[in-house]
Structure 1
Amino acid sequence: MTDRQSRTEEAMGEAMYQMAMSMPDDFKDVNADPFSYMAEKMERREEQLKDLTEEERILMKELCSFFDSDHMRSKRNGMEAEVFRAKAIIEKLQMNVNFPVLEYGETFLSRSIDHSLDMVTLLIQKGADVNHENEMMSECALDMLLEEEEDNDGKLSGEKKAIKKLLLTKGAKTAEERWMDKADEVRQMSQGNLRIHIFYLPNEVPNIFGMISSGFLPYPWSSLRNDEDADASYHNRDVQKLDAAQQFDGSSSIKFSKCVDIKTLPDNYQVDDDAVASTIKSGDLVSTKSYVLFHMCNGGTCYEDEEYIVDINTYTKNIASYYANYEGAICQACNKYADFCSSGNDDGGNSYKNNNNYNNYYNGGNRQLKNFDCDECDEYSCFSNNNKYNAYNDAINNLIDDISDCLRTGSYASNAEELYVGPMCSANGKGVELALFLDNECTTYTAEKAFGSLPSYYMYSSEYVFEATKDSFQKAYSETTSCEDLDVANPYNQANDDGANYDGNQEMNAYCQQLFDEGGALGLSSCSASDDQNGNYNYGNDDQNNGNNGGDDFLSWYTYDMTVDNAQDIDQVCSAVSEMGGSYSNYYNKYKSGTWNSASSSGGGSYLDMGDVEESAVVAVGFLSFFLIGAVAGGAWLYKKQKEKELDSKLERLNSGTFESIRTDKGTMESIRTEEGVMT
């Protein structure tokens, strides 16, 4: 045993003595499970690693490979390039370099002493704590250097001497000094009600993991992200969502503003086939997700200085459903109050302004009911058409839901992949189109065929149902949608036109409310371009070509806004759209895919009467692999959708065959490391 080791053990003994003297009487109860805190730390580490996207995992794998012991011993060329690349990855991940991602909880800094002085310098610049200990051995980078120096009879290489000097100038302490500091801290806190957790690992020295109740934690838990305000930022964002929903009520209305396409980088983006690359370059195959910008209006006035953003599926499903059910609600009331209209009580369309004391405060004052209007009975031909509409009402609503959620068409692309139909931004962003996609989440747009050219029998059996659905879709993007309840007030309760008692404090209808509750709609002003939430670093192709992911040739010409899994996160999308500053893109090809929305087309032609549609060149079978949505989107997100919608055998086949989960059942370390010591 060297003098240094002897002094270290003496200091450790002093720290243990002070802790033993400070233990409360119920120590045994508190420490019934001596490994509970270690298990907690491992669970917390695992949870943070699970939140990594597929692209982030690739970057983390690359970063960890630089600190692999065998790699550092065998490769001396290219170390400078690795330092440069490590810097880029750390910045992209916004990573806390003290996070224990390496095997056995070793720190990057302790491993970096075998890499280079430049790597040590970089890590310190990025916030590495020179006194942060490895979890298993309680060693720091300086301890490992001193041990190496002792093993080599007091000799170190010139570079190692420089590293040692740098660590000492940055405040690095020996193990002896750190143990004495621990003893002093415990001694000073001995008057408090401490809860000290001491763990004795087999054949190892004891290690202090925390003094929980007092809040004293000598070596605090390191989060993966290097953003101390991340949790607070997301809390504030949740508050913003709540405030946005609460500042509007049943007197509010919604007005579509514009539609934005987010072009994404899929998880599996390697493209080796020239025909596939050509199809992508031509715009006939695009990985994209559409989002709707809309205004909230009060008192007939829309606030043009504020736009809210929500995904196109949520917007289309809810607002189109409002119009699908609007006629039914009107005709139901007309049928119920037919005598009121036939007896001439309507009084020129004015007397239906009901007593607000009764109707506007119906149901405990929380619902603003729609006023009854006999003129609408005639407008919708309710007395002659009511039965027919009610007969098809469920079918119309089901078709709206199915298309909004991505509907199987029963038709196939040239490579035998099944086609799906869903809403997508129009070519000019002024409306919505029904586009065809190659995946059952409607994120891989194809212009090979047009929806209007497909047989309809697999999707719907009634032309009336489709026309009513189409009409609802178009109104959702052209009309101002009221947020008042669709339930119609009783016209006989109109003795007093007591509108002065209405205080505008009624709840929004479910269709408007769901944009905030289900879709998490956010105001763009709450998502500033500089609002970097939770590692939201990868907007577009910034520095992507520095990657070493096997797809560099592809990334040299493919442009995108964000990764496919980030495009599922409304918070990150909101920030990305805000950063665009109004310069938005749209990828729908109306010349090949057709158009039916008058609000989105300057040309004529019925969507259902297009005849032959130009098809793009037939590409090699397997081009869908470019746009497979694996990782988080194909795993956790699709699993949730599967539970909610009970998707068919197609999804089951994709989940079991095509999709590849990034999770394993072996726990964190096994899921991120291979036998060579790098991340998988």
Structure 2
Amino acid sequence: MKFSLIALAGAVASANASVKNIKLGNRKLRRGDVTEALLKNAVPFKTRRRLDGADEANEVDGSYSISFGKCIDIKTKSDDLFDENVIEQVQNGNALSLKSYLLFYACQDAYGYGCSEDNSDVYMVDLPTYLSVVGTKQVYKRNDYCEQCEQNQDTCAADNDAYEAADENENDDAQNQAEEEEEVEEEEDYDEEQMEAEEAEEENDEQMEEEEDEDNQQVEEEEDEDNEDQMGEDQDEDNEDQMEEEGDARKLKQQIDCNRCNALQCFDKYSNDDAVVTQAATREEIDTYVGEWIEEVANCKATNEYLNGQPVYIGPICSDYADTFEIGAFLDEDCTILTSLATLDDIVAAEQQANESVDVTGYAINSLKTAFYGTMTCESQEFEGEDGEEEEGEDQEEENEMNDYCKQLFESDLANFDDCAADAEEEEGQQEETDDAYSWYSYDMEDADEIDQVCAKIASFNGEYSNYYDSAASGSVHSRSRNGDLVKSAAASLSASAIAAIALACAAVVGAAAYVMGRKTEKVDGSTLNEPMYRGGQMS
């Protein structure tokens, strides 16, 4: 993924270039049509037993978290497979038609400790939609928080003023100490006089108490029972008041962390230093390009490369281990006809050589990897304003309000696993009815566009899945151990030096400043797609 230095320089020249950032937990995602598909397509693959009469639609809220489960390919039949420019690849085992779907966990875990099959409901959605949502959330995480920082800039400015005032007070320490010592001496003199007066008063009180004790004893005994009853009532009222106060306190929004705002350099765009402003604008531009690249890939991104006269596209596909995603090469604009004769590495290298550009593909892919490996919380996080109170009309239900990213997953018509299993019987025999002259080509479904039918088909697999990407032939965006386990790296980020380097390149408009983070691709000779590459077990 790359963008022109000239174009970026033009964008950075206007330091206040608009980068749309919506309130954290209430973002309208860029290119919303892609992420809205997730809203419409997610279905529950397996759900835990619920109480009778429970409203399932209202059970998933901001207290839930999302974790990746497993990636599954559905091999399909497409007329485009038998085009004269493609059929030879199909016959040689270098191309096939498929769609990738993903199972993800949803559990009530607002703190992000993790979801698993044991404590979660299992949902299914197409891989491109899931990739778009979790990937863009990861990329815009900093911008989301900075949006809140900017809305609370006055609060943070007040904190800074307080620190500055404290520094000024330190200069007056000597004078303050002298004044304090004088006050202490005056207080000691006063305390001595006060003690003498208190001793005399205590003697008088003791004499009066002895005279009144006998008179009061009988009255006290009569009132004991009434007092106990009254105290019980008062205690109940106090407890109720305390509970109400605690409830109100829970409703208060969390206060913005100004230290974090400064650490994220959220206010750099307002700096008086032009270099700092330029760097801040460059960072936002890069995040925008990366977010757009992720959504373009999810949509099936066109490239400048051709294979036997056919344009080549790149898009997401399940890995051959079914445990993550890969970026594959395809021969159609819908990214359903996979080819092993082109690779992401070759495409990126060719395009970078053809244009002077900044390559941030590695940053984008690492953002996706971080999103897939981690847990995505659904809590909608907002912060209190300067007055420390919530806006009028807010109620306790907003405590568990769901953010827009997770709403893309759950605000839809849902089908349960039992329905999927029942529909699986109808899928049997479908291939026999549609077999024709190309009967040598086997497939799972003729097409995989109806989510309920796909869910039924996957349910019929009984936990054994086939995946068709060949990382040996086509390379991988992931690193693995000798045992094939994923080697998970730290969260992706652009360092200040990297951003400064890109900003300098933009200002000078010279050369390309390539930036490919932590990407390891292993390739060996190979020309065929072996199927199945993976025979999985039960979900783990």
Contact 1:307 1:523 in 2 (8 A): no
Residue 142 of structure 2 aligns to which amino acid in structure 1? Answer: E
Equivalent in 448, 464, 470 of residue 583 of structure 1: 464
**Structure-2 residue corresponding to 1:525:** 417
Deviations 1:7-42 (A, max 9, x none): xxxxxxxxxxxxxxxxxxxxxxxxxxxxxxxxxxxx
Provide the C-alpha distance between the structure 2 equivalents of 1:408 and 1:579, rounded to a whole number of angstroms. 34
**Counterpart amino acid of residue 68 in structure 2:** F
In structure 1, give the amino acid aligned to 2:466: S
Change beyond 3 A, Cα 1:562–1:329: same
Partner of 1:82: none
- Of residues 333, 337, 355, the one that matches 1:444 is 337
Q: Which residue of 2 is the match for residue 372 of structure 1?
A: 256
What residue in structure 2 maps to residue 551 of structure 1?
438
CA shift at 1:388, angstroms?
3.0
Match of 1:316 among 131, 136, 144: 131
**What whole-Å deviation, never above 9, does each CA across 1:425-481 have from its counterpart, x for those lacking one?**
111111111111111101111111210121345999864643442233112211111
How far apart, in 1, do the equivalents of 2:328 and 2:103 lie? 19
Rounded to whole Å, the distance in 1 between the matches of 2:470 and 2:124 is 23
The answer for the alignment partner of 1:404 in structure 2 is: 298
> What is the letter of the counterpart of residue 147 of structure 2?
Q
Paired with 1:611 and 1:584, the residues of 2 have a C-alpha distance of 24
SS at match of 2:342: coil
TM-score norm. by structure 2 comes to 0.54
How far, CA to CA, are the matches of 2:123 and 2:479 in structure 1?
23
- For residue 529 of structure 1, what is the amino acid of its counterpart? A
Name the SS of the counterpart of 2:421 in structure 1: coil
In the aligned structure 1, how far is the partner of 2:254 from the partner of 2:351? 36
The equivalent of 1:302 in structure 2 is 115
1:259 match: secondary structure = strand
- Give SS of 2:145's match: helix
Query: 1:395 corresponds to which letter in structure 2?
Result: Y
Equivalent pairs, count: 342
Deviations 1:274-315 (CA, angstroms, capped at 9, x unpaired): 9545422xxx31211000100112134636253100001111
CA RMSD of aligned residues (A): 4.2
Checking the alignment, whether the CA contact within 8 Å between 1:308 and 1:521 is kept in structure 2 is: no
Judge conservation of contact 2:314–2:344 (CA < 8 Å) in 1: yes
Q: Report the AA paired with residue 616 of structure 1.
A: S
- How does 1:253-652 map onto structure 2 within 5 Å? 253-267=65-79, 275-280=88-93, 284-300=94-110, 302=115, 304=117, 305-335=120-150, 336-337=152-153, 338-339=156-157, 342=160, 372-374=256-258, 376-377=260-261, 380=264, 382=266, 386-413=280-307, 415-454=308-347, 455-457=350-352, 463=358, 465-485=360-380, 488-490=382-384, 492=386, 502-503=396-397, 506-517=400-411, 522=414, 525-532=417-424, 536-538=427-429, 541=431, 544=432, 549-552=436-439, 554=440, 558-564=441-447, 567-598=448-479, 602=485, 610=521, 614=525, 616=527
* In structure 2, distance between residues paired with 1:395 and 1:321: 11
Query: Per the alignment, in what secondary structure is the counterpart of residue 573 of structure 1?
Result: helix
1:583 Cα shift? 0.9
Q: Distance in 1 between matches of 2:522 and 2:106?
A: 39
Cα distance in 1, alignment partners of residues 133 and 383 from structure 2: 22
Q: TM-score, normalised by structure 1?
A: 0.43
Instruction: State whether residues 538 and 562 of structure 1, in contact with CA within 8 Å, keep that contact through their aligned partners in structure 2.
Output: no
Cα distance in 2 for partners of 1:257, 1:460 equals 39
2:363, 2:250 → 1: CA distance? 30
1:86-131 residue CA offsets vs partner (Å, 9 max, x unmatched): xxxxxxxxxxxxxxxxxxxxxxxxxxxxxxxxxxxxxxxxxxxxxx
Question: 1: CA distance between counterparts of 2:376 and 2:354?
Answer: 27
Residue 602 of structure 1: how far off its partner (Å): 4.1
| Residue identity (%) | 27
* SS of equivalent to 1:563: coil
Listed as ranges, the gaps of 5+ residues in structure 2 are: 1-42, 48-53, 164-245, 269-278, 490-516, 529-540
Q: Following the alignment from structure 2 to structure 1, what is the Cα–Cα distance between the partners of residues 468 and 162?
A: 53
Q: Contact 2:305 / 2:312 at 8 angstroms: preserved in 1?
A: yes
SS in 2 for 1:530: helix
Q: How many angstroms does 1:607 deviate by?
A: 7.8
Distance 1:344 1:467, change over 3 A: farther
> Aligned to 1:310, what secondary structure does the other structure show?
strand
What is the CA–CA distance in structure 2 between the aligned matches of 1:462 and 1:298, rounded to whole Å?
Answer: 44
From the superposition, tell whether residues 416 and 250 of structure 1 become closer, same or farther in structure 2 (CA, over 3 Å): same
User: Aligned in 2, Cα 1:382/1:525: closer, same or farther, shift over 3 Å?
Assistant: same
SS of the equivalent of 2:312 reads strand
Give the conservation status (yes or no) of the 8 Å contact 1:309–1:524: no
| 1:623 matched residue in structure 2 | none
User: Which amino acid in structure 1 is aligned with residue 67 of structure 2?
Assistant: K
1:251–1:504 CA contact under 8 A, matched in 2: no
Q: Which protein has greater RCO, CA pairs closer than 8 Å, 6+ apart? A: 2
How many angstroms does 1:334 deviate by? 3.8
Q: 1:323 to 1:523 in 2, by over 3 A?
A: farther
Equivalent-residue separation in structure 1 for 2:298 and 2:249 (angstroms): 37
Unaligned ranges ≥5, structure 1 = 1-235, 346-354, 362-368, 618-680
